[in-house]
Amino acid sequence: MDEETGTLRTIRRLDRERQSSYTLFVRASDGPSSLPVTAQVSVTVEDINDNRPTMKFPSTERFVVQLFASRGDLSHGAFVTRLDASDPDEGPNSELDYAVEYGNEGGIFEVDWRTGAVTVAAEEGLDRSRTVYRLVVSASDRGTPPLRTVADLEIRVNSSNLAPPAGQRNIINDNDNDNLIYPSSPIDISTSALKSDVTILFLHPDFL
Ligand SMILES: [Ca+2]
Ligand SMILES: [Ca+2]
């Protein structure tokens, strides 16, 4: 604060995500012998769009979804997975819209732009002869200008009529990208830990 003029300035950049308000107590007097008066000054930091959305799913570690024909996953309207992102800004700067950027030729899949839910859009359902779909999906905030984050999503299709093993839906990758195997004994992951009805594989990025 300038002692002569009373002008209050910041000495460093403020970040709403670190601290959104400040309360200051200021004092003024018109000479050494006069009684000072005090006042409270509240400073509110307005948000700027300085954060890109963060993709929680898919991420670089988790980006594969496995669908099973035997479970009806390939049908028109079937739920595939849900995109999940967050943004620490405020208001429109944190409101997210989801989309597919690449890989959805022919409109095979549909993304609900508000919820991030991915469903099968193809009228006849997914082609059983195709085993993998690779999409680039995005989350964009509504800042001015908006900031966008993209991520890879891989959808694998098991078209056999064999049901997935009862009780668990995860499958294990044996380090060979094209060779997915079922575990011979149940693996220690509770189904309640799964966020959706769809199997999500946890693959190390080195596999791909
Ligand atoms: Ca933002
Ligand atoms: Ca901000």
- Distance between first and last Cα of the chain: 57
- What are 36-57's pLDDT values in tens digits? 999 999 999 999 999 999 999 9
Say what the pLDDT of residue 159 is.
Answer: 79
Spatial separation of the C-alpha atoms in residues 113 and 207, rounded to whole Å: 30
For ligand 2, the distance from its centroid to the CA atom of residue 83, given in whole angstroms, is 22
Residues 142, 104, 195, 59: is their CA dihedral positive or negative?
negative
Q: Is the pLDDT higher at 84 or at 158?
A: 84
Domain ranges of the chain: 1-46, 54-207
- What are 119-144's pLDDT values in tens digits? 999 999 999 899 999 999 999 999 99
For ligand 2, the distance from its centroid to the CA atom of residue 88, given in whole angstroms, is 7
Spatial separation of the C-alpha atoms in residues 93 and 91, rounded to whole Å: 5
How is domain 54-207 classified at the architecture level of CATH? Answer: Sandwich (2.60)
CA angle at 191 for the pair 190 and 196, rounded to the nearest 5°? 140
Whole-model pTM: value is 0.71
For ligand 2, the distance from its centroid to the CA atom of residue 128, given in whole angstroms, is 45
Spatial separation of the C-alpha atoms in residues 136 and 84, rounded to whole Å: 14
Quickly state the pLDDT bin for 165 (edges 50, 70, 90): low
C-alpha to C-alpha distances, 81 to 7, 100, 107, 174, 195, nearest whole angstrom: 54, 13, 16, 23, 9
User: What's the whole-number mean pLDDT along residues 179-208?
Assistant: 43
- What are 13-40's pLDDT values in tens digits? 999 999 999 999 999 988 888 889 999 9
The continuous run of DSSP H or E covering 120 comes out as strand 117-120
Spatial separation of the C-alpha atoms in residues 186 and 91, rounded to whole Å: 45
Quickly state the pLDDT bin for 160 (edges 50, 70, 90): confident
Q: Is the pLDDT of residue 188 over 60?
A: no
For ligand 2, the distance from its centroid to the CA atom of residue 82, given in whole angstroms, is 26
Lowest model confidence (mean pLDDT) among 10-14, 16-20, 58-62, 195-199: 195-199
For ligand 2, the distance from its centroid to the CA atom of residue 89, given in whole angstroms, is 4
For ligand 2, the distance from its centroid to the CA atom of residue 84, given in whole angstroms, is 20
